[in-house]
């Protein structure tokens, strides 16, 4: 299955916003940019919410039918490994092979030796079109990249072949992800990771490296934007080079995880994508659930009451909720409002603290991040939360759609 140039992962924790998300994609088309929706949900999210992979397929198909969408769309088994993939085989046609845990595991020495031999011809200067300076490659560079990443890519090969046996080749799109790790991969490392991906025979159409800087959940990029821009361009150049060198799929592109809400880098990304005529996959997940909360708060009454209750409970269970996401959140606990204070807020105040509008003085990124990981609380409220969503479906949908179109698709693909 062929992944189009621009794809956006529209995660949806509670599987209620598929049509609202698709509305944003339809607006993109009307504005002249073809974006393909990918409904993604990880094993971790399914476990926390208590949902199953089949429900994501049902949601996607229903949204597509409701809006009469004729374009392509995918259902992504997000962040799966050999232990978790089986439950996703039937319902998914996009698989994100997460091998970050295998980074740094010692590779088989024969495999390593063969890899270095095979790629020794790359020693010297790697001149990728579109970047000013050549990337330096020594035999040591190849050795150390292989030591760090060969086991991880080999594991990706195992997972890929497992899925291929079950579904058949070309019946699904493959992503390899290495983003959930502490150390960023350099463009040169990415080049040799792609060499290994090709050696393993994985027809990867997208790859998610760990970029420089912090990609915290649901909030803006934290780091040096010009450094990120330079690295992003080098990654694009390296991918184009690797496609030619190693015979990887022509449409191979970068995947940006925790990609929602990264307003300060979308401009640089857009320019780089245009410069290299490259595609991208932008993964979002929790940003939609936060719009559900904003919608409920805005609706007032029982909607606002549910939103406040979720915050109060989340605050009391801070450690439990934050631990699984420790590497992708940064919360200043001193800047979190107390449950009592929030209890006194009206809808617009709650919404303003939560909505990702950095120019608004009431916006509180700490409040936002805690609620981002607080979806477990909403899941536990069960019907109370879901009925509130149902009751205020219109205002919630409007926020969901507006967020994906204006703050994400427009910012990344269209510009002003």
Q: How far is the CB of 124 from Zn ion (least distance, A)?
A: 34
CB closest to Zn ion, residue no: 257
**Rounded to whole angstroms, how far apart are CA atoms 228 and 41?**
27
Q: Are the C-beta atoms of residues 175 and 279 closer than 8 Å to each other?
A: no
Q: Is 158 exposed, middle or buried (0-12, 13-18, 19+ CB in 10 A)?
A: middle
Q: Nearest to residue 73, comparing CAs of 26, 120, 7?
A: 7
Binding status of residue 217 toward Zn ion by CB under 5 A? no
Q: How far is the CB of 79 from Zn ion (least distance, A)?
A: 6
**What does the per-residue mask of binding to Zn ion show for 311-350, with x meaning CB under 5 A?**
----------------------------------------
CB-wise, 157 or 209, nearer to Zn ion? 209
CB-wise, 257 or 376, nearer to Zn ion? 257
Q: How far is the CB of 117 from Zn ion (least distance, A)?
A: 33
Q: How far is the CB of 327 from Zn ion (least distance, A)?
A: 11
Side-chain-side CA neighbours of 291 within 13 Å: the count stands at 30
Give the number of residues in contact with Zn ion, rule: CB under 5 A.
1
Q: How far is the CB of 257 from Zn ion (least distance, A)?
A: 3
Q: How far is the CB of 9 from Zn ion (least distance, A)?
A: 9
Q: How far is the CB of 143 from Zn ion (least distance, A)?
A: 28
DSSP string, 320-368: HHHGGGGGG----GGGSPPHHHHHT--HHHHHHHHS--TTSTT--HHHH
Q: Nearest to residue 56, comparing CAs of 24, 93, 1?
A: 93
Q: How far is the CB of 80 from Zn ion (least distance, A)?
A: 11
CB-wise, 84 or 141, nearer to Zn ion? 84
CB-wise, 40 or 298, nearer to Zn ion? 40
Q: How far is the CB of 180 from Zn ion (least distance, A)?
A: 6
Q: Nearest to residue 104, comparing CAs of 183, 174, 177?
A: 183
CB-wise, 16 or 79, nearer to Zn ion? 79
- Close Cβ partners of 326 (under 8 Å, ≥ 6 residues apart): none
CB-wise, 13 or 257, nearer to Zn ion? 257
> Which tokens hold the place of 84?
């978790």
CB-wise, 77 or 296, nearer to Zn ion? 77
Q: Nearest to residue 152, comparing CAs of 120, 185, 116, 188?
A: 185
**Rounded to whole angstroms, how far apart are CA atoms 328 and 317?**
18
In this structure, what are the phi and psi dihedrals at residue 247, rounded to the nearest 5 degrees? 70, 35
Q: How far is the CB of 131 from Zn ion (least distance, A)?
A: 26
**What does the per-residue mask of binding to Zn ion show for 75-94, with x meaning CB under 5 A?**
--------------------
CB-wise, 260 or 364, nearer to Zn ion? 260
**Rounded to whole angstroms, how far apart are CA atoms 279 and 8?**
11
**What does the per-residue mask of binding to Zn ion show for 230-269, with x meaning CB under 5 A?**
---------------------------x------------
CB-wise, 330 or 380, nearer to Zn ion? 330
Q: Nearest to residue 230, comparing CAs of 135, 100, 145, 124?
A: 135
Q: Are the C-beta atoms of residues 37 and 10 closer than 8 Å to each other?
A: yes
CB-wise, 27 or 257, nearer to Zn ion? 257
**Rounded to whole angstroms, how far apart are CA atoms 101 and 134?**
31
Interface ranges with Zn ion (CB under 5 A)? 257
């Amino acid at each position: 299955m062929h992944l189009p140039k621009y794809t956006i992962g529209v995660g949806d924790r509670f599987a209620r916003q598929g049509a609202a998300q698709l509305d944003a994609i339809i607006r993109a088309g009307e504005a002249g940019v073809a974006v393909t929706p990918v409904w993604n949900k990880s094993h971790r999210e399914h476990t926390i919410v208590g949902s199953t992979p089949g429900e994501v397929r049902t949601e996607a198909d229903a949204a597509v039918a409701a809006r009469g969408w004729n374009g392509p769309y995918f259902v992504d088994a997000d962040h799966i490994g050999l232990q978790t993939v089986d439950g996703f085989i039937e319902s998914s046609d996009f698989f994100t092979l997460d091998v970050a845990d295998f980074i740094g595991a010692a590779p088989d020495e024969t495999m390593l030796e063969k890899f270095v031999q095979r790629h020794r011809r790359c020693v010297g200067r790697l001149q990728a079109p579109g970047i000013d300076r050549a990337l330096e490659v020594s035999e040591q560079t190849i050795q150390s990249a292989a030591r760090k990443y060969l086991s991880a890519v080999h594991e990706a090969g195992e997972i890929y072949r497992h899925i291929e046996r079950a579904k058949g080749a070309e019946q699904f799109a493959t992503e390899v992800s290495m983003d959930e790790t502490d150390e960023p991969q350099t463009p040169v490392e990415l080049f040799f990771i792609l060499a290994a991906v090709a050696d393993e025979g994985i027809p990867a159409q997208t790859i998610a490296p760990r970029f420089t800087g912090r990609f915290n959940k649901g909030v803006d990029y934290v780091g040096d934007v010009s450094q990120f821009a330079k690295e992003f361009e080098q990654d694009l150049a390296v991918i184009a080079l690797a496609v030619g060198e190693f015979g990887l799929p022509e449409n191979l592109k970068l995947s940006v995880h925790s990609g929602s809400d990264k307003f300060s880098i979308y401009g640089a990304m857009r320019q780089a994508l245009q410069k290299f005529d490259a595609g991208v996959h932008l993964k979002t997940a929790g940003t939609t659930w936060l719009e559900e909360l904003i919608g409920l708060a805005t609706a007032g009454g029982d909607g606002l009451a549910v939103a406040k209750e979720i915050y109060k409970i989340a605050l009391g269970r801070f450690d439990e909720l934050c631990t699984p996401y420790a590497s992708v959140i940064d919360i200043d606990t001193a800047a979190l409002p107390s449950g009592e204070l929030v209890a006194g807020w009206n809808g617009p105040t709650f919404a303003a603290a939560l909505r990702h509008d950095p120019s608004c003085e009431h916006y509180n990124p700490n409040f936002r991040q805690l609620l981002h990981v607080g979806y477990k609380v909403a899941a536990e409220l069960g019907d109370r939360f879901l009925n509130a969503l149902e009751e205020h479906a219109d205002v919630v949908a409007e926020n969901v759609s507006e967020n994906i179109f204006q703050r994400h698709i427009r910012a990344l693909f269209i510009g002003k």
